[in-house]
Amino acid sequence: MNTNHTREITYLEAVREAMIQEMRLNKEVFLIGEDVGTYGGAFGVSKGMLEEFGPERIRDTPISEAAIAGAATGAALMGMRPVMEVMFMDFLTISTNQLVNQAAKMRFMFGGKCSIPMVIRAPSGSGTGAAAQHSQSLEAWFVNVPGIKVVAPSSPYDAKGLLIAAIRDNNPVLFMEHKLLYRLKGPVPEEPYTIPLQSAEVKREGRDLTIVAYSIMVPRALEAAEKLAAEGIEVEVVDPRSLKPLDKETIIRSVSKTGRVLITHEAPGTGGYGGELAAVIAGSAAFDYLDAPIRRLAGRDVPIPYNRTLEQAAVPQVEDIVAAARELAQEGR
């Protein structure tokens, strides 16, 4: 990450800036979704964009995620580069036929004679009191679909660079934006830049164990690492950033160095993406360097409760990561 700049903006502003810069650069890029125009998006991400680009390129739609996904897929098929916004990731369930059976498969089924360059922006995760139907993390569903790429940035810098890369990609890209990250501030260059969609990053160097985390779990893992450092436990934090395609080498290299790995994510553990990461590590050269079993820390297998106390208890918090990492650091010693 290039930090030779002082400007800091929020994650939300970084996402907006990425869209604006790409729309200025390429007239084929447009935004489509519910209330993205006059209202400025459910979370205010597209505020002000209607005034600059007009209703042809900032397209408000009826309340139908199936129609939004179908229109975006058709537009991409005809050479446009739509950025499709759903209000909540949960609502992708309504558009799965268009995304899973059409957008993801067309390039393959037509022998590479067409491209589907579209981005699906999806606010994900819990922590806002939005309850069971507006708080899910469904990344494992879409990682399992060949033809769709999945990215989950954890910082404003990553959000801008990955979104620009996603817009320029010739395949459908699911772009997960955790709702609690929108107000997170960080250094972001003003000029456009890209981060390759297969480039994990070591967010913190350490020697005693590796925590592999993505999205909201990255700042939580970093906070946990600071607490553990006070106890003499040096944690390395690796953020895959892109879940598919996955930069396996960076993860394997880190685990080989530390000999211990904790994988954490917000989605439920059963069938969760952490199982894929564990399989990658277990099937790699890093396995020979493990001094303790691979550990997973994931959300509970329950719908996200509305009650704030229960909501926090349903997904890993900083103290849960601290406890799991502390136990893992001592295992086998």
State the average pLDDT over residues 239-264.
98
Statement: residue 332 has pLDDT above 90: no
Residue 95's Cβ-side half-sphere holds a number of Cα atoms within 13 Å equal to 29
How far, in Å, CA of 12 to CA of 33, rounded? 17
Question: Does the N-terminal peptide bond of residue 240 adopt cis geometry, omega within 30 degrees of 0?
Answer: no
Statement: residue 108 has pLDDT above 70: yes
DSSP string covering 8-29, please? EEEHHHHHHHHHHHHHHH-TTE
State the average pLDDT over residues 263-281.
98
State the average pLDDT over residues 25-40.
97
How far, in Å, CA of 155 to CA of 1, rounded? 11
Task: State what percent of residues in the chain have pLDDT above 90.
Answer: 97
3-class state of residue 222 by DSSP: helix
How far, in Å, CA of 146 to CA of 244, rounded? 10
Looking at domain 201-330, its CATH class is: alpha beta
**pLDDT for res 284:** 97
State the average pLDDT over residues 258-276.
98
Question: Within 10 Å of residue 112's Cβ, how many Cβ atoms?
Answer: 8
How far, in Å, CA of 263 to CA of 275, rounded? 9
Statement: residue 306 has pLDDT above 90: yes
**Cβ contact 285:256 at 8 Å:** yes
Q: Which of 199, 176, 301, 310 is nearest to 251 (CA)?
A: 199
Catalytic annotation present for 5: no
Please name the CATH architecture into which domain 8-187 falls: 3-Layer(aba) Sandwich (3.40)
Tell me whether the CATH fold assigned to 8-187 matches the one assigned to 201-330: yes
Statement: residue 100 has pLDDT above 80: yes
Q: Chain-centre distance of CA 289, in angstroms?
A: 29
| E runs forming strands in 161-306 | 173-178, 185-187, 201-204, 209-213, 235-239, 242-244, 261-268, 295-299
State the average pLDDT over residues 225-237.
97
Residues 6+ apart with CB under 8 A from 174: 92, 120, 122, 139, 142, 148, 149, 150, 151
Residue 331: band (very low, low, confident or very high) from pLDDT cuts 50, 70, 90: confident
How far, in Å, CA of 318 to CA of 297, rounded? 11
State the average pLDDT over residues 168-178.
98
Residues found in the chain: 333
Statement: residue 55 has pLDDT above 60: yes
Statement: residue 1 has pLDDT above 90: no
Averaged pLDDT score across all residues of the chain: 96
**pLDDT for res 170:** 97
Q: Which of 251, 318, 319 is nearest to 290 (CA)?
A: 251
Backbone angles phi, psi at 263, to 5 degrees: -105, 125
The DSSP letter of residue 245 is: S
Statement: residue 5 has pLDDT above 70: no
**Cβ contact 85:118 at 8 Å:** no
Q: Which of 303, 327, 318, 90 is nearest to 217 (CA)?
A: 318
3-class state of residue 247 by DSSP: coil
Statement: residue 2 has pLDDT above 60: no
Assessment of whether the complete model's pTM goes beyond 0.75: yes
Q: Please say whether the dihedral angle defined by the alpha carbons of residues 164, 165, 169 and 171, taken in this order, is positive or negative.
A: negative
Spot the catalytic one: 5, 134, 178, 265: 134
Q: Could you state, in order of their start, the residue ranges of all structural domains in the chain?
A: 8-187, 201-330
